[in-house]
Homo-oligomer: A and B are copies of this chain.
Amino acid sequence: MPEPEIRELRYFRAVAEDLNITRAAERLGIAQPPLSRAMRQLEHRLGVDLFDRSGPRLGLTAAGETLLKESGPVLDALDSAVRRTQRAGQSSGGLVVTAKPGVATEVLHRIVTELQGELPGVQVVVSGFGEQADMVRDGRADVALVSRPFDDHGLETELLYTEPRVAALPARHELAAREVLAADDLAGIPAPRWSRADVAERNYWSARPDDPVDGPIVQDSSQLLEVVAFGQAVALVPQSMAERNIRPDVVYRPVADVEPYQMLVVWPAGSRSADLAKFVEVAVRRSGGP
C-alpha cells in the first residue's frame, strides 16, 4: 500500500521546492489539477500530511521536510542504477575513467599506456573540475583520479601519492620576499576558484555550500597562473605543477603548515569488477611520483 512511485517523488520535490503547485505544474509540463491530486494521493499513500495548507502560503510539515531530504538519495540512486545498467549493456567491456586536466592526466597517461593490451577499451574522459566524484557516483564513469578535498560519499578510495603544495605568488608580491610562508600568511587573500560547467543545471551549491569564497574563476592551470600573475589571487598548487610552469612573473614559495596535495583513485563503493581491480592495482603501482 505505501508504495510511492518515482513520478510522485519527482512531482513532490518540484512542489516542495517552490511551494506553489501551479508553478510547479507548469515546470513539470502538466496541468495543475492532476498535480494537486497527485500530492493528495501521495499523502494518503504514506498516511501522513506533507503540506501545511492552513496558511496563506503553502508550507511543508515536518514529514514533508523529511521526505524532501530523503527523496534526493532515492532519485540519485535510481538515476545511477539506470546509467550503470545502460553502460553495462552497451560498451561491453572496457572501463570509463575520468580525471581533471593537469597533474592527473599525466599519471593517467602512464596508467593507460601500461594497461594497453591487458585491458582493451579503456576510455578516458577528461571532465570538469570537481566533477569526477559525481561522475563516478552517478555511473557516468567507472573510476576516477581525484585530489582532495572531494565528496567521498558512496565511494571507496586508494591513495596514490601525496606531494607538497606551494604558494604561487605574483613576482612583485610582498610575500615573495620571504623564503617560506605559513598558512596564516595567506588568510584573507583571494584564492582562485575552479569553474564547474554544470553548476547551473544541477544544484551543487546547496549540497556543498562551503566552497572557497571570492577570487576569480578559472578553467585550467594556465588561466590560474594568469590571474596570479595579474595579482588577482594567490593559489596553492602542487609542487610538480610549479616545476612545469616556470614563468618570470610568478614565484613559488613553500608553505610550512599546509595540507599536502593528495591524489587518489576512487570507485563506487561495493564495485568489484576484475577490470576495475586491475586498474586500481596498476594505478597504485605506477604512481611512484607525480
Contacts and interface: CB of A to CB of B under 8 A. Distances in A.
Interface in A80-121: 80-82, 84-90, 92
A265 B58 CA distance: 37
Interface of chain A, main secondary structure = helix
Given A47-B86, A48-B85, A81-B67, A5 B2 contact: no
Each complex incorporates copies of this chain amounting to 2
A89 B84 CA distance: 35
A70 interface: yes
A82 B2 CA distance: 8
Contact of A84 (B6, B66, B88): B66
Contact of A74 (B4, B7, B48, B78): B78
15 contacts: A2-B86, A3-B6, A5-B7, A46-B82, A46-B85, A46-B89, A48-B88, A61-B89, A62-B88, A63-B85, A66-B84, A66-B87, A70-B77, A74-B74, A74-B78
Could you say which of A6, A46, A70, A270 has the most chain B C-beta atoms within 10 Å of its C-beta? Answer: A70
Interface residues of A, number: 38
A55 interface: no
A289 interface: no
